[in-house]
Every structure is written in structure tokens, then in C-alpha cells.
Structure 1
Amino acid sequence: MSAPPPTDVVKLLLVDDLPENLLALQALLRDDGLQMHCATSGEEALSLLLEHEFALALLDVQMPGMSGFDLAELIRGSSRTRQLPIVFVSAADRNQAYSFRGYENGAVDFLFKPLDAQAVKSKVRVFTELHAKSRALRRQLVELETARAEQQQLLDTLQRTQADLQRALKMRDEFMSMVTHELRTPLGVMALEVIMRRSRLDKGDLAWFSPERLQAMIDKDDRQVRSMTRLIEDMLDISRIQHGRLSIHPRRTDLGELAGRVVADFEPQYQQVGLTLSAQPGIVGEWDDSRIAQVLVNLLSNALRYGQGRPVHVEVGLTGDGFARLAVTDQGPGIPAEDQGRVFQQFERLPSTGKAPGMGLGLYISQQFVQAHRGRIGLHSEPGRGACFEALLPLTAA
């Protein structure tokens, strides 16, 4: 099988009903840069025109059946071949009416028999060079359009990158502002407590430090320290998540027992609200108990913060498809459907939450922890009917 011709080969269409005339033309125009296709009828020429792109057509005028003029009219009538230069080859007299008819049918020139070899070569060379330049120009236009498209793509990428950078800078500024605020509050409370206690000591008022008051001081200090520790841990977790360094260490864990320990730790904070737990016994899986405990801590903290002082219920069970289910349900204002996808984003705090404390990181971190266990976390809520956050965990190790 022969190799396909190179794409830069210039093709000529030669049409004459006499094979000897075609041979003579081929011999005359034989050149390494030209590829000649011959047809002995108008129908055969039309078939070749459908297969090839020609630089020039040399048409014999006086052919039986479809004449050269008829073929030229058909060539001009097709959008594919309308721009093809046509040179008529004729043995007729060079009268003006004959030439006019030829030009009217789309000819760009006439060659009269007997052919002048130099004139034929010269005219063919002109049209083939024009065709080569036209094709080169089209290639350049394609290359320019490709370059323009690539440049536009790069510009779009640059604009997106710039927008991402601006969002990142804005997020960083908001993050630093929130961190400063969240740390200032407990530090401010502790600083005031220190000033007050030092003042009492300076005055020698040791009676003021009664056992009950000391216990209250310790409890308050413990809450402030835990608040700051929690904030720092959240910041560290965010950094680990963003840098792909979040570690999970699964081990055999009883989910009901884990939930019981976390709920017991929260009972002092929920004394005025009410916190209940229902746990199906024997739900054991391969999980990182510290990470899953933090998920429950985050969900309970949110429920305490946004539950409007109403009872909260924790549930541990199994789903029909073999997942462990850990759910926290509050009786707060609920979350509209259009906002439910946003609550798991970083620093996201919905307008309906008002000015409640927090940085909007708990649910995002919880989602990352659950997904690291190949589980999923979701929200079921309607405005005015509370919210239920549930984590579904596979029983096997991540």
C-alpha cells in the first residue's frame, strides 16, 4: 500500500475526452511539486472534485455530453469548488463571443490549441503559486486562531487564579480576625479574673477565697482553657487537612460507649437544656475513636450554640445497609434547604445563626474526619422543625 501524498502537494485537474491530449498535458506539466488528476468526462471530473482540493482546473471545452462550459457552471454552483480557478483549453477560433461565454461560465483564462508550452507552464505556475500562498495563509490563520484561543485560555486561568487568590486572602484576613476575636474573649476573661484575685491577695482578703468560690474559679478557668485549646486544635486540624496530612488511626471501638463518654462530658453544659442518649448496644467497628469523638463534640457544641436552649438527643444505631449511624438532633430554628449545603464549608455561618460564637469550622472538620473513614455526613432539617446531623460510618477500617 502506497504512502499518502504529503499535504503540501499541489493538485491539478485535467479534463479532456481524448486520452492523448491528457498525456500530452501531463508530459508538459510534469513537475515534482505537482500532482495531476485526469478525467475524460465531466461526470468523472465531478467525482474527483469531491475527493480532492485542486489548485487549478484545465478543462477542454468541446467534449461530448457535458461540455467544458457546462462543467464549469456546475463547479461554480458548488460552495466547495466555487473558488477553483478554471482555464479553458480550446481548439475553437478566438472570437470575442466565444471568450465571453467562457468567462461568463467562470473561466479565469483561455489556452488555445496548439498549446504554447511556455505559456501553459507560466500560467499554471502563477495559479499554483497563488494556491500555495493561499493555503499557507489559511494555515497561518488557523495557527493564529489556535494561539489566540490558547492565550484566552491562559488569560481565563490567570483570572480564575487571581480570583482564587483574592478569595484566599480574604479568607485569611477573616480567619485571622476570627482567631483574634475568639482568643481575645477567653484571654480577656482570664486577665480580669487574675487582676481581681491579685487585688484580693494584695489586700490580704483571704476569706474571699472560700472553697465554693475557688471551685467556681477553677471551673471558669477550665472552660476558658478548653475553649482556647479547642480553637488551637481546630486550627491545627485545618492545616493538616489543607496540606493532606490528616492522619487516621483506626482501632476496635464501641460507638455506643464512645458516645456515652462524650455525652457525660457535656452534661454540665446541658444542665439547663437537657441532653439524652439512646444507643443500640454492640455497635463495634474499626474507627479512630479520638476523631469520631471530636465529630460528636462538634455536633453537640453546635446544637448547644444554636438549639435555642431546647433539648438535644443523641442516637447511635445501624442503618439497613450496614453503616453505623451517629446522629444529633436539636429543636432549634432549623436550616432552609438552600443553605444546607453551605454549613459544611469553612468559616460558613448562616445569617439565621445571628452572632453566635464560633468560627464556622466544626462542621467542615467533622465532614473531613467522617470522609477520611470512608463515611458520609448529612443534614436533615426544615425551618422551624430543628436539625438532625447524622454521620454514617462503615464498620471496617478506612
Structure 2
Amino acid sequence: MTAETPDVNVLLVDDLQENLVALEALIRQPGRRIFTARSGEQALSLMLEHAFALAILDVQMPSMNGFELAELMRGTERTRGIPIVFVSAAGRELNYAFRGYESGAVDFLYKPLDPHAVRSKVSVFVDLYRQRQELQEAKAQLQRAVSMRDDFMSMIAHELRNPLNSVYLQAQLRRKMLSGGRSPDPQAMLHMVERDERQIRSMVRLLDDMLDVSRARTGKLAIVPGPFDLAASARAVVEAIEEQASNSGVTLTLAAPDTLPIEGDEFRVEQVITNLLTNALRYGQGKPVAVTVGTSGTEALVSVRDQGMGIAPADQERIFQQFERTEDASQIAGLGLGLYIARQIAEAHNGRLAVRSAPGEGSEFILSLPLP
């Protein structure tokens, strides 16, 4: 069986070893793990350790017979749901079957066993068990999806509320200034308009991220390749973010050659660099951020390094998935979409996006793109 489909456990209980060997030989198949017990006590111990799709119990055993074992199983939460098939050498006239069904059995077999009937019955219960497991997994996935949807809607509301509140307060302030009967200060009005523009750009970027996630899922992320200068693009992004960095007290540096011509979608590559820089400002704890542009072998590289909280090794792949963030970043605004989109863009260019980091030592994100 593959790792995604684990073996199904079946328990055989009989006080005679030769009976266990014969029954195991009948039902053993790939994908099944057979456990055997020679007493009721040993069987209970196994059932408390493992989950079983079926228990085949011999009725006539010393110390604890099959019926007594079944009653104990039905009285314990862990073992209550295990289907029981009884096996008996006694004749049908002894009416063992009635007592067996009263004890919670789902079927009754008489010795000598019909090999075909045994195999068929075991296959039915193994298949039913697998179907139950699949349904439980599907239910768990559905619950996770519903929880993710609720968390996503909550994050969206939070992320949109802040810039909307800011724009609303700015509008109220302008209304108050205009209703005061004196001409507003043009410089102050310009400053307010600039703040509005920043907040609106923030909301537009949020909506664009959501659309890009949908496009990436369906393989429709638009890439329009052409020649452009990666060094010039990096400089343009750094210049656009310098004011934000300055307002946050962050020193932002760029080391790049005069030119670095490559082939790709200039807008999308700038989107990746912007995303990496924005994350560095968010998680860099106010410390300097360095951007480096260069080449290595047949690749062009853009590195964005911060000196912030760092990322644990266990999280370094997970953060590139949708809506995923580190636990330490839970109090910082963001949807957990940016790195997912950035990696999709890198891969659409036949490139890579990787991270080097350790807790408390900052993070370096490296975008690698093929040179022409």
C-alpha cells in the first residue's frame, strides 16, 4: 500500500495456534495487517493499542470465551465500534448464533470454514472500514475548509477595515475643514490626498492578491514576457518603498549592477520584489533591510535580507502555502498570500523563490531567474 493508504488491521482470536495460522493464511492480503491473540485478555490489550477493521473471535476458549470478550468490547468506548465475527465448531442446533448476535456480533461462521465465504466476509468489512476512514478524512477536510474560510473572511474584514477607517477619518477631517468657513491649507490637503492614495493602493493590492491566488490555482496567472533590466526594476521598487521604510525608521539599502538584462514579465517580477520588501519591513522589527541584485552561474538573483525575528526550519516551506504564516507573525497584519503568489510567479518564469533563515537571526529571501 502507498503511504496515503495505510494497512488495515484485522484481529484473530483463538486459543489454538494451528487455527490462527490457518485463518491467517486464508485472509492475508497486501494492505492488511493481521494481529493474533490466544486469549481474551491478550485480545483486549491489542484492541486498546490498535484500531481494527474487524475482530474474528473463536467462541469456545478457556478463561474468557468469545461471548464474554464481545460483551467487554461493547462496554469499552475504544473497542465498541469494532465489528465482531464469531467462529464456532459447535453445530448450528446449539443456537450459538442467537447468543452471538445478542453479544453484538455482525456475523457467525461455523467450522469447518468455507474459504471463499471467509475471504468474502473479511473483504467486505475491510472495504467498509476504508470507506469510513475516507469519509472521516473528507469530513475533517471539509471542517478545515470551513474554518479556513471563516478565518479568511475575518482577515479580509480586518485588513480592509483599517485603510477604510483611515480614508473615512480623512474625509471627515476635510469636511470639518471646509465647513469652518476658511480656505483649507493646500499643503495639508495634498498630504491628506497622498494618505488616501496610499490606503486605496493598499486595498487594491489586497484585492489583487486575492485574484492572483484564484488565477494561480487555475493555472491562469498572466505572464507577459519580454526583455527588461532587473537592476532598474529593483531600483524602482526600492525607491517606491523608501518613504514607507523611512516612516518606519528602517534603513533600506540596495546593491546592484548598473544593468542586468533578463527576459520575463517586468510587472510580475517587480510584484515579487515589492512583496519581499513589504514582508521585510513588516517582520524585520525595525532593523535595516538590504536588497542585493546580481548573478550566479546561469541565474540572476535578487536577495532581500532583514534582521528580524527569523523563521523556524519547520515553517520555512509552510509559509509559501496559501494563508500560512508563522506563529510568531500572528499579531502582524497580513493574509499569508504574498509568498504563495511570489513563488507562483517565480516558477512561472522557470525560476525559484527560496528562504534562508533561523529564529532570531533574520531572514533572506532569494529570487532566482534564468539568464537569457
Q: TM-score range by the shorter chain?
A: 0.5 to 0.7
Offset at residue 199 of structure 1 (A): 2.2
Q: Larger Rg: 1 or 2?
A: 1
- Percent of counterpart pairs with the same letter? 44
Q: Following superposition of structure 1 onto structure 2, how do residues 93-242 of structure 1 map, counting pairs within 5 Å? A: 137-206=114-183, 209-242=184-217
Give a deviation string over 1:342-366, Cα, whole Å, max 9, x none: 2222222323235221112111111
Q: Tell me, in whole angstroms, the C-alpha distance in 2 between the residues paired with 1:247 and 1:230.
A: 16
Q: Tell me, in whole angstroms, the C-alpha distance in 2 between the residues paired with 1:392 and 1:269.
A: 26
* Greater alpha carbon shift after TM alignment, 136-145 vs 271-280: 136-145
Q: Tell me, in whole angstroms, the C-alpha distance in 1 between the residues paired with 2:228 and 2:341.
A: 21
* Greater alpha carbon shift after TM alignment, 161-170 vs 352-361: 352-361
Aligned residue type for 1:315: T
Aligned residue type for 1:358: G
Offset at residue 134 of structure 1 (A): 9.4
Q: TM-score, length-normalised on structure 2?
A: 0.66
Give a deviation string over 1:30-65, Cα, whole Å, max 9, x none: xxxxxxxxxxxxxxxxxxxxxxxxxxxxxxxxxxxx
What value does the CA root-mean-square deviation take over the aligned residues? 2.3
Give a deviation string over 1:117-151, Cα, whole Å, max 9, x none: xxxxxxxxxxxxxxxx9999312322332233322
Instruction: Determine whether 1:252 maps to 2:227.
Output: yes
- Match for residue 322 of structure 2? 346
Aligned residue type for 1:230: R
Number of aligned residues? 264
Q: TM-score, length-normalised on structure 1?
A: 0.62
Distance 1:160 1:266, change over 3 A: same
Give 3-state SS (helix, strand or coil) of 2:188's partner. helix
Q: Which runs of 4+ in 1 moved over 6 A?
A: 133-136
Aligned residue type for 1:327: S
Instruction: Determine whether 1:359 maps to 2:349.
Output: no
Give a deviation string over 1:57-108, Cα, whole Å, max 9, x none: xxxxxxxxxxxxxxxxxxxxxx99xxxxxxxxxxxxxxxxxxxxxxxxxxxx
Q: Which runs of 5+ in 2 are unaligned?
A: 1-20, 23-109
- Match for residue 53 of structure 2? none
Q: Which runs of 5+ in 1 are unaligned?
A: 1-78, 81-132
Decide whether the 8 Å contact of 2:272 with 2:342 is kept in 1: yes
Distance 1:199 1:170, change over 3 A: same
Distance 1:352 1:374, change over 3 A: same
* Greater alpha carbon shift after TM alignment, 343-352 vs 186-195: 343-352
- Match for residue 356 of structure 2? 380
- Match for residue 269 of structure 1? 244
